[in-house]
């Protein structure tokens, strides 16, 4: 037998396409060539695989070895195929039974000593291996992450020798059972004192999936509020949790297993680059907006963000995903996040504060707010002011706020109504659904038109007001949108008043 085929997987963005490692031995001068890998990666893989085989006291065949990684057009970052290549060489040279390899997939970098090292993006690979009905072998450090994919048998091995022993049925490798992580509760709304208006807006945002903008002076608790949104959202389902975890697994930071089944809360700094925010790079990695998939993206100091960074947010805010084109390659990352943005009311931060310490004039305030483009502001459904509280209300021995668990009960009830009606959150109703499900009485329609005129709002904003009104009615358990629901919804768009809108 001079030929062996071993299954492995590449990492492309958050996907894990299959790679066939084909090894062929022929007569002639001893040499090893690898087809289908970039030059530098080939050199390194050759050295590691040869050393690992020799260190394991196995025979490195003195023949002409050709290794083909198919398909050829996949990006293949170096180390993850080492183990598959080494096993292919051993099988092709008769040192391993080739048929033992058939129902396995292998993923791991080899150290020169033959030790198997962890690689990234293992969760996506495990999910895909399960779909193909194969077992997966990874390094011990990758075991727990791979086992999150419950449809696949995951085993781990520490060294190349251990894998050989298992394939020859001389040794049993440990199966990794999914460890049920205790879901740790995030920060609680009970810590937020006062701020009834902002708490109300947060609850509406959670109930309908709406984006939210908090406007208030420094220290008013905007970050405190934003970080509590994830905790009042419904628990993610299995597929949502796996999607979120797969993205983290493909990121540079990797997956943090202690955050499994928690909705993500991402709060990048305003100096973050557009690539850090939306993803990219030569080997495209997910950015903050994808790491916030099914969770919350918090952008503090919104006017301080570069215009470019905010502009690239617009596409994912609409579509729930972002596509990144790099040379010949296109990557699509999911990015269905809920945006919570925060800003000061004026450059100094104190406009409207009873202390009167703000000295900004109207023009300065107008220019400051105009840094956020109209089209972006338009896509944020709820604008709410978060005033600084008098010290009396902030006393830690005073009454605490309503806890997250109680708020979440109302959120879940409102979401159940939406599911039954349209199988989606209100924020994601399209225009025809909005017309069908957000009907107003003739009197309320006239009221809304007057408000749209007075606030100089666009048609897009008008539809967004209707969807927020629908959510407010759902929270009230009402099948019809009543006047108070509508007026409250209109009240959340005040920041748009009098803005001249740039073309979308
Ligand atoms: Zn000011």
Q: What digits encode the pLDDT tens for the residues 28-58?
A: 899 999 888 776 777 788 999 999 999 999 9
Cα 269 to middle of ligand 1, angstroms: 22
Cα 253 to middle of ligand 1, angstroms: 38
The helix/strand/coil state of 214 is: strand
Task: Using pLDDT thresholds of 50, 70 and 90, give the confidence band for residue 395.
Answer: low
Instruction: Supply φ then ψ for residue 456, to 5 degrees.
Output: 55, 55
Cα 311 to middle of ligand 1, angstroms: 26
Predicted confidence (pLDDT) at residue 504 exceeds the cutoff of 70:
no
Cα 388 to middle of ligand 1, angstroms: 14
* In the chain, domain spans: 3-167, 189-423
Cα 385 to middle of ligand 1, angstroms: 15
Ion ligand 1 — residues with CB < 5 Å: 346, 348, 351, 358, 360
Q: What is the DSSP letter of 396?
A: T
Most distant CA atoms of the chain, gap in Å: 90
Cα 216 to middle of ligand 1, angstroms: 11
CATH class of 189-423: alpha beta
Cα 336 to middle of ligand 1, angstroms: 34
Question: Which pLDDT score is estimated for 392?
Answer: 62
Predicted confidence (pLDDT) at residue 273 exceeds the cutoff of 50:
yes
pLDDT tens, position by position, 161-181: 999 999 999 999 999 987 766
- Short-list 435, 447, 432, 441, CA closest to 490: 447
What's the mean per-residue pLDDT of the chain?
90
Cα 368 to middle of ligand 1, angstroms: 10
The kind and range of the H/E element at 434 are helix 431-437
Cα 348 to middle of ligand 1, angstroms: 4
Cα 220 to middle of ligand 1, angstroms: 15
pLDDT tens, position by position, 60-117: 999 999 999 988 877 777 689 999 999 999 999 999 999 999 999 999 999 999 999 9
Question: Which pLDDT score is estimated for 68?
Answer: 93
The helix/strand/coil state of 340 is: strand
- CATH number for region 3-167: 3.30.230.10
Predicted confidence (pLDDT) at residue 499 exceeds the cutoff of 60:
no
Higher pLDDT, 280 or 498: 280
Alpha-carbon gap, residue 471 to 156, rounded angstroms: 48
Cα 215 to middle of ligand 1, angstroms: 13
The helix/strand/coil state of 376 is: helix
pLDDT tens, position by position, 277-306: 999 887 788 999 999 999 999 999 999 999
Cα 135 to middle of ligand 1, angstroms: 62
- Short-list 120, 109, 35, CA closest to 79: 109
Alpha-carbon gap, residue 69 to 35, rounded angstroms: 6
Cα 359 to middle of ligand 1, angstroms: 5
Alpha-carbon gap, residue 329 to 317, rounded angstroms: 23
Average pLDDT over residues 353-372: 89
């Amino acid at each position: 037998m001079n030929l062996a085929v071993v299954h492995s997987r590449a990492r492309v963005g958050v996907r894990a396409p299959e790679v066939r490692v084909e090894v062929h031995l022929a007569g002639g001068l001893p040499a090893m060539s690898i087809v289908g890998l970039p030059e530098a990666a080939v050199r390194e893989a050759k050295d590691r695989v040869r050393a690992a085989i020799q260190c394991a006291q196995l025979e490195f065949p003195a023949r002409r070895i050709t290794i083909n990684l198919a398909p050829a057009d996949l990006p293949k970052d170096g180390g993850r195929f080492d183990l598959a290549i080494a096993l292919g060489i051993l099988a092709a040279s008769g040192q391993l039974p080739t048929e033992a390899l058939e129902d396995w997939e292998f993923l791991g970098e080899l150290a020169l000593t033959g030790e198997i090292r962890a690689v990234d993006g293992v969760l996506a690979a495990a999910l895909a291996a399960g779909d193909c009905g194969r077992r997966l072998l990874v390094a011990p450090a990758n075991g727990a992450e791979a086992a999150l994919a419950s449809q696949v048998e995951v085993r781990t091995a520490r060294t190349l020798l251990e894998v050989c022993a298992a394939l020859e049925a001389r040794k049993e490798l440990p199966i990794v059972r999914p460890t049920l992580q205790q879901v740790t509760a995030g920060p609680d709304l009970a810590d937020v004192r006062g701020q009834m208006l902002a708490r109300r807006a947060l609850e509406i945002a959670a109930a309908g999936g709406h984006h939210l903008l908090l406007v208030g002076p420094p220290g008013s608790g905007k970050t405190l509020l934003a970080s509590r949104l994830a905790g009042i959202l419904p628990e993610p389902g299995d597929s949502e949790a796996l999607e979120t975890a797969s993205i983290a697994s493909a990121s540079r930071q990797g997956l943090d297993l202690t955050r499994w089944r928690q909705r993500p809360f991402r709060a990048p700094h305003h100096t973050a680059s557009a690539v850090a925010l939306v993803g990219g790079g030569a080997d495209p990695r997910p950015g903050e907006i994808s790491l916030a998939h099914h969770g919350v993206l918090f952008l503090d100091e919104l006017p301080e963000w570069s215009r470019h960074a905010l502009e690239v947010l617009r596409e994912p805010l609409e579509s729930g995903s972002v596509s990144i084109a790099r040379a010949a390659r296109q990557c699509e990352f999911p990015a269905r996040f809920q945006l919570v943005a925060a800003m000061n009311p004026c450059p100094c931060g104190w406009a409207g504060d009873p202390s009167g310490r703000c000295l900004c004039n109207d023009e300065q305030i107008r220019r400051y707010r105009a840094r956020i483009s109209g089209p972006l502001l338009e896509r944020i459904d709820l604008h709410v002011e978060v005033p600084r509280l008098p010290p009396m209300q902030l006393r830690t021995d005073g009454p605490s706020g309503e806890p997250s668990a109680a708020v979440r009960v109302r959120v879940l009830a409102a979401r159940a109504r939406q599911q039954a009606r349209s199988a989606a959150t209100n924020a994601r109703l399209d225009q025809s659904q909005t017309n069908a499900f957000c009907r107003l009485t003739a009197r309320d329609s006239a009221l809304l038109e007057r408000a749209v005129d007075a606030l100089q709002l666009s048609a897009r904003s008008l539809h967004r007001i209707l969807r927020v009104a629908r959510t407010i009615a759902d929270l009230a358990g009402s099948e019809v949108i009543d006047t108070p629901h509508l007026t409250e919804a209109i009240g959340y768009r005040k920041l748009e008043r009098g803005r001249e809108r740039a073309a979308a």
